[in-house]
Amino acid sequence: MIQIFRTIPEFRNFRKNLPREMKVGFVPTMGALHEGHASLVSSSAKENDITISSVFVNPTQFGPKEDLSKYPRMLEKDAEILEKNGATVLFAPSTAEIYPESPSQIGFTIQSLGDKLCGASRPGHFNGVVQVVSLLFHIVRPDNAYFGEKDFQQLMIIRQLVAEQHFEVNIHGCPIVRESDGLAMSSRNLYLSAEERSQAVVLSQILFYLKEHYHQFKDADAVKSFVSEQISKKSVMRLDYFEILSEKGLKDIAVWENTEKPHAFIAAFCGNTRLIDNIPLFS
């Protein structure tokens, strides 16, 4: 049976008794787990002596008009998925446990990585992510931590956090897991109505098309026009952003002669649900 800890002292007591030589893998999550999370847990279980996962819906990474109160919570089912995929410990603290004063943000400098894409659309979001991930790293003290590439910008920011704060943890990015029609798995897919779900697939269809054909467009602006045209022609989704950036450093790429590896990022509202996806354009 997976062991569940709900308080920091209980968890710490367990953690300090682990043998020093034991490799600890960590998969932080906000719950509502799907096969994407399962793949992170099984990678960790293969590469470590013990896998610890956390389920914590972090208030400081939600904006005032976002879905914090309705974010899906299903701890029992999550615990089953974690156990099935090789996690032996679940840390599931309350908000008061993590933020004893009140869940307010403390400032982090995330420099240029944090002010574009989701950082521009969701002000303060990455500050909240960095805040909670660093708290969790302090509590869990993992050797290896696993994050999905669906949140590619988050992964880059966490790598930067680790480098800047000298955390002794190796960060592993794991490939996006997709539904059979291509939609990137996300806990927020649970919000989609049947009609919205059938439209949501347009995002991955566009990305797959661009991976094969982006060279045929004169520049990134031409691709952007194509993408907004496709979204409005094929769906009732509202494009939030589409950008082509360098895989390293997330710098703007205007034309293909650039030596940087281009990576496409998309976010769109499908009804009230904001979906994101991304793809490397180079092979």
Q: Which residues form the interface with ligand PAF (CB under 6 A)? A: 28-30, 58, 61, 129, 132-133, 151, 154
Closest CB to ligand PAF among residues 105, 198: 105
DSSP β-bridge partners for residue 50: 24
For the bound state, the minimum distance from the C-beta of residue 105 to ligand PAF, rounded and expressed in Å, comes to 13
Closest CB to ligand PAF among residues 35, 260: 35
Amino acid (one-letter) located at 64: P
Catalytic positions = 37
Closest CB to ligand PAF among residues 86, 128: 128
For the bound state, the minimum distance from the C-beta of residue 150 to ligand PAF, rounded and expressed in Å, comes to 9
For the bound state, the minimum distance from the C-beta of residue 128 to ligand PAF, rounded and expressed in Å, comes to 8
Rounded CA-CA distance 107/1 in Å is: 39
Closest CB to ligand PAF among residues 60, 235: 60
Token duo for residue 231: 């979204």
Q: Is 141 left (phi over 0), alpha (psi -120 to 50) or beta?
A: left
Residue by residue, DSSP assigns 205-239 as: HHHHHHHHHGGGSSSHHHHHHHHHHHHHHH-S-EE
For residue 265, the SS3 value is: strand
For the bound state, the minimum distance from the C-beta of residue 180 to ligand PAF, rounded and expressed in Å, comes to 23
For the bound state, the minimum distance from the C-beta of residue 215 to ligand PAF, rounded and expressed in Å, comes to 32
Q: Give which of 30, 164, 6 is closest to 96, Cα–Cα.
A: 6
Q: Residue 164 is inside which H or E element, if any?
A: helix 152-165
Token duo for residue 184: 């990137």
Closest CB to ligand PAF among residues 91, 242: 91
Q: Kindly tell me the burial class for residue 218, based on how many C-beta atoms sit within 10 Å of its own C-beta (0-12, 13-18, 19 or more).
A: exposed
